[in-house]
Chain A
Amino acid sequence: MIELALILCLLPLVAAVFSFVLRKSSAWLHALVATLAMLISALLALIVFFHLYHRHAMEASIHWLALNHDFMLTVGVRLNALNNLMLVIVTLVSLNVMLFSYGYLKTDERIGIYYAYLNFFAFSMLALVMSANLLQLYIFWEMVGLCSYLLVGFWFFKNEAARAARKSFVVTRLGDAGMLGGILLLALAAHSFNDSTQALLAASGNLHLSWLSQPHLLTLAMLLIFLGCVGKSAQFPLHVWLPDAMEGPTPVSALIHAATMVAAGVYLVARLYPLFQLAPGVLETIAYIGAGTALLAACIALSQRDIKRVIAYSTISQLGYMMAALGIGAYADGVFHLLTHAFFKALLFLAAGSVIHALAGTQDLFQMGGLRKKMPITFYTFLAGALALSGVVPFAGFWSKDAILSAALASRHYIVYALLLIAAFCTAVYIFRLIFLAFAGQSRQPALTEHAHEGGWEMKAPLLFLAIFATFAGFLNTPLNDDALTRYLEPGMPMSEYQNWPILSMLISTLVALLGIAVAYLAFQRWQAQGSPVPPERGRPWWIQISYRKFYLDEIYYHTIQRAGRFLSMLIDLFDRYFLQGLVRLIALLFYGIGNALRMTQDGLLQSYGTIALAALVVWFAIAVFRAGGVF
């Protein structure tokens, strides 16, 4: 099994190298190689998943570097319930994205590079998921960040793309710095980077340093690690990079949002769950940050005009759900939502990509309209994704979102429940607002939408495939089948907790979702049907303006952090230029002088060489004679 896992992880790397080396060859070849490699990887992931379904975790490591006799750095593979599930999610979503990308980018002449990055991205994520220790995980974590930087900035000649890439890299790095500190703290205390060792130590109360007792150490370390997750999974207040990351090609957005980059943060919290549980206060923090982010992002999404930005804020909001679920102790529900979300969010993005592709790059919702008849497949698959997102029975999102809501209710986290419920209402509103604006009624820009049509089969197939998942993936974990996924992820859980149907909570959330759809219908369908003109930029009511301007968070960041940073960097620059540089020059000059003086002694004469050698010997003797405690 370990070998299979290694192969499935390395196949994308091979494809990446292939695409990179032969980057001049034709587009279909890259797509073929990438898709084939990912297809095999996905099959292998399924094999690994089902083979190890009822078994214990497997782990294999080799020694990489011995720092000390009791501190070995290792490299290894770990296959357990969570990791195997992640492998399946990542490979399946990546497979669809690989295929879809061909349709989207086949005219781009740098498609070879694109596929190389994309495959490398998938490889990094797979390796991250399989890592057996936190150091290895951190390395791949950074590689995932690097790949997203490259892909978001793929159209680097666009100014916004370059800026967005930089922003995503810098903001996530902020979190990563904290995370590295947390990992090192844990490793220092446990003498190992292996998180299962650390969890064992923590469970027995032995994870501490001489200057830090276990509860404090765990709280500090886990908060720091969570900071990394906040950055990667775009939680408040580090969520600002994700909407800007829309500047990359749309399939990349699908991959980043669904399966790879942002899922990594949630995955890490889930993976280190035993440690988080032992850290007092941290899970509570996660729950409130998650729920707050869910609501905030949903509110922002209500008024965005860019089709991709709506979905991007929706991602932030849904990640908030997952974090909140993990925070209130509903571990399996959080992971379950990660799974369903991966499918329906990939679907939404690819469908949006299909729309953008059809409209030659237009992303403004108010320019669209009436696309239902032109692009039926895109419309119906998008509808499936939207229904899943807003949580309508029986689509995938319903089961996972409702599981989180009822868990919040059951564990008496009423504030979290309320926040999430309002967010659920907003979710239904914004996604159906998008549907009514883009697909219903008449076109507002006939010139633009006249030639809109579906993409080729390579774009339709992933949409249909993902639509099936977005519709039915929820049935993996329902009361109908005894919560199979929960049981798979938490084998030790008592039966009683999951056997009743949370009817009340289901009713409430269904009602809320339908209410949201109704509000969207009333507000936008009618407006759409009247064929109203594109609304002007100015003159919005203030509450829409606040939402549209994303609660002015970007502006606040700009005026505080960025200004302060610039001032600081200016000071440092002055210091550097006039003080340090002079010092450096002086030192270099000194070294050169000594070196040249030494070189003078090399006069090429044998007799002087011999003399120097013997003189040195005499000097050594003299030292031996006069040395303190000498023997002569």
Chain B
Amino acid sequence: MSLYSLLHAHLGLTMGPLSIVAISAVLVMLIELLLPTRFLQLPVWLSLLGLLVALVDAFIHLSQVPQYSLHTLVSDGLASILTCLILLLSLLLLLFHVDELKSQTNQFPREGAYLFLFATAGALAMVTAVDLVTLYVGLELLSVSSYILVAMTRKRLALEGGMKYLVLGGVGSALFLYGASFIYGMTGQTNLYTIARMSHQLWLLNPAIVVLSFLLMLCGLGVKLSLVPFHYWTPDAYEGASASVAGFLASVSKSATFAMTLRVLLYLFLGSTHDVFPYVAAMAALTMVAGNLLALGQNKLRRLLAVSSVAQAGYLLIPIALLAQATPNTWPLVYNSLVFYLVSYSIVTIGAFAVLSILEQRYEVQEIADLSRLPRQYRWLRAAFACFLLGFAGMPLTSGFMGKLYLLIAALRLHELWLGVLLFAVSVISFYYYLKPIRTMYQKQLFTDNGEGQAVSRQTATQTVIAFCVLVTLLLGVWPGILLQAFSHVQWY
């Protein structure tokens, strides 16, 4: 068998997008090294090209039969759908990152371009790998790139946020690795499928160690997912990072980590004799409640979005907590509701951060109260921001509502109704703080119009991203069937 056919047979499907992104990351890094300094945007455009090719590749192979290659990578439903999602999200983020580069206030170095690609490659590895080592490598690739991206602008806040993220993220990685090492120690295996097959024996062997490793891995991932009380790095990192990087942390990083969490917990711990998933449920409840309460008193937009992303992580944890009651028959329900909410939440998040980047660059908006400075003629921007905030809150006719509705239905069908009820109860609180910026925006103008604000070149790319996100938010809110219909054909695992 020639090398080509080997590659084609095994890697074409499972590794196609991943390798394309990784190769373009290396290429962009080399090109950037040799490029004269005046080509500021070229690396980003090259990165965008790489992502686009990868996305097309992933999209073409979407309907193929799942493959399993090298005992490491798969292309099952979760992997291929999340690959598409992550590539799309990265594409959107890089697109409005282009405008950030142009802005003088930001001073974002162009090296960011390939760091985004490396981080994306890490995220892709996290969703396609079924081997603990590969998963860990993916996680670290994503995390390390993110640490640098956060601190990249070298402002005081950015450095502080990056530093905190680095240290706490390191703790998280260590906890995860520690937990995984117990599993390896007991089974001598790192492959998830193999461990899943011997999962039952594992529990018979020494349940205490398994519970220990479960909690370690959950807390380790909890740091990355910013679950309460491991969320402390979140507001600082989001505040310090540039808008696109914060959006990246909130969408791509979170999507990949949630997919990985679902896969790892499901494969490793399902044959349990001791029910471990109530810990997840408790953590989801704690995160939802604390996240929403924390957000009530926030005055800064960045921190508001950061804390709200903590609360959203609590919602996203619900399907995983539902695994306690799920049987293989009802697994698709868990997958459907999680992935639907991920799509909805990520799109809304990216839209919100895109709006925020325009607001910050033009009007130096930081506090919620600053929003009243927005000139009257910015009605589209205002409407878009309102749409995203309502999407976060879960207003009917936005995708957020449908996502929450599906979480509720899943909770109902898997007999964990209290989680669904709690979800809607805390959503009521969330309306309060999401509506606050909207109210400020639409209040009577306290100041006279101050024209165009900071002189900034046209932000066409950002506007495109915002328009796209609004469209998707409303479309999924009005017609969620378009996605769910497709999901019903997906073989998730």
Contacts and interface: CB of A to CB of B under 8 A. Distances in A.
Contact of B168 (A601, A604, A609, A620): A609
B484 A612 contact: no
A67 interface: yes
Nearest to A629: B274
Given A609-B233, A631-B274, A598 B279 contact: no
Interface residues of B, number: 39
A606 interface: yes
B293 interface: yes
Nearest to B283: A620
A620 B294 CA distance: 22
B409 interface: yes
Contacts of A617: 175, 215-216, 219
A171 B371 CA distance: 42
Contact of B208 (A592, A595, A632): A632
A624 B278 CA distance: 11
Q: Which label, helix, strand, loop or mixed, suits the secondary structure of the B interface?
A: helix
Given A68-B409, A613-B168, A598 B219 contact: no
A447 interface: no
Contacts of A616: 219, 229-230
Given A606-B167, A613-B229, A591 B481 contact: no
Given A63-B485, A617-B175, A610 B215 contact: no
A596 interface: yes
Nearest to A615: B229
A68 B171 contact: no
Contact of A68 (B208, B230, B413): B413
B36 interface: no
A574 interface: no
Nearest to A66: B484
Contact of B232 (A66, A609, A623, A624): A609
Nearest to A609: B232
A599 interface: yes
A206 interface: no
A620 B290 contact: no
Contacts of B229: 612-613, 616
Given A62-B481, A604-B236, A609-B168, A595 B294 contact: yes
Nearest to B433: A595
Contact of B293 (A64, A66, A595): A595
A596 B297 contact: yes
Interface string B204-220: 00011001100110110
Contacts of B232: 601-602, 609, 612-613
B164 interface: yes
Contact of B297 (A62, A599, A610, A612): A599
Given A62-B481, A66-B481, A624-B215, A594 B293 contact: yes
Contacts of A67: 409
B223 interface: yes
Interface string B427-467: 00100000000000000000000000000000000000000
A616 B226 CA distance: 13
Interface string A305-338: 0000000000000000000000000000000000
Nearest to A590: B293
Q: Which residue of B163, B168, B481 has the most chain A CB atoms within 10 A of its CB atom?
A: B481
Contacts of B218: 620
Nearest to B478: A64
Interface string B141-169: 00000000000000000000001100110
B296 interface: yes
Interface string B275-295: 000010000000000100111
A621 interface: yes
Q: Which label, helix, strand, loop or mixed, suits the secondary structure of the A interface?
A: helix
B163 to A, nearest CB: 7
B168 A610 contact: yes
Interface in A578-617: 591-592, 594-596, 598-599, 601-602, 604, 606, 609-610, 612-614, 616-617
Given A591-B429, A631-B211, A613 B171 contact: yes
Contacts of B296: 591-592, 595
Interface string A55-66: 000000011111
Nearest to B166: A606
Nearest to B412: A68
B294 A65 contact: no
A63 B481 CA distance: 6
Nearest to A592: B296
B480 interface: yes
Contacts of B413: 68
A562 B175 CA distance: 68
A592 B274 contact: no
Q: Which residue of B219, B230, B293 has the most chain A CB atoms within 10 A of its CB atom?
A: B293
Interface string B221-246: 00100000110110110000000000
B207 A631 contact: yes
Contacts of A606: 163-164, 167-168
A178 B164 CA distance: 59
A277 B246 CA distance: 63
A93 B471 CA distance: 36
Contact of A621 (B212, B409, B479, B488): B212
Interface string B465-493: 00000000000000111001100100000
Q: Which residue of A601, A612, A620, A623 has the most chain B CB atoms within 10 A of its CB atom?
A: A620
B479 A598 contact: no
A595 B484 contact: no
A64 B235 CA distance: 37
Given A591-B293, A610-B167, A65 B274 contact: no
Nearest to A614: B171
A631 B295 CA distance: 37
A630 B171 CA distance: 27
Nearest to A608: B232
A562 B409 CA distance: 41
A305 B185 CA distance: 96
A595 B295 contact: yes
A345 B110 CA distance: 72
Contact of A598 (B230, B236, B293): B293
Contacts of A624: 211-212, 215, 279
Contacts of A614: 171
A632 B215 CA distance: 14
Contacts of B168: 606, 609-610, 613
A630 B210 CA distance: 12
Interface string B96-137: 000000000000000000000000000000000000000000
Contacts of A592: 296-297
A449 B158 CA distance: 81
Contacts of A599: 294, 297
Interface in B397-441: 402, 409, 413, 429
Interface string B69-104: 000000000000000000000000000000000000
Contacts of A595: 293-297
Contact of B279 (A594, A620, A629, A630): A620
Nearest to B485: A63
B297 A609 contact: no
A178 B434 CA distance: 35
Which 5 A-B residue pairings sit nearest by Cβ, starting from the closest?
A609-B232, A595-B293, A631-B207, A595-B296, A63-B481
Interface of A: 62-68, 591-592, 594-596, 598-599, 601-602, 604, 606, 609-610, 612-614, 616-617, 620-621, 623-624, 629-632
22 contacts: A64-B480, A65-B480, A66-B488, A67-B409, A68-B409, A68-B413, A595-B294, A595-B297, A598-B294, A599-B297, A604-B236, A606-B163, A609-B168, A610-B167, A610-B171, A613-B171, A613-B219, A616-B229, A617-B215, A620-B218, A624-B211, A631-B207
Given A68-B413, A591-B296, 18 more contacts: A64-B479, A65-B402, A66-B484, A67-B409, A68-B409, A595-B293, A596-B297, A602-B232, A604-B236, A606-B167, A610-B171, A612-B232, A613-B219, A613-B223, A624-B211, A624-B212, A624-B215, A631-B208
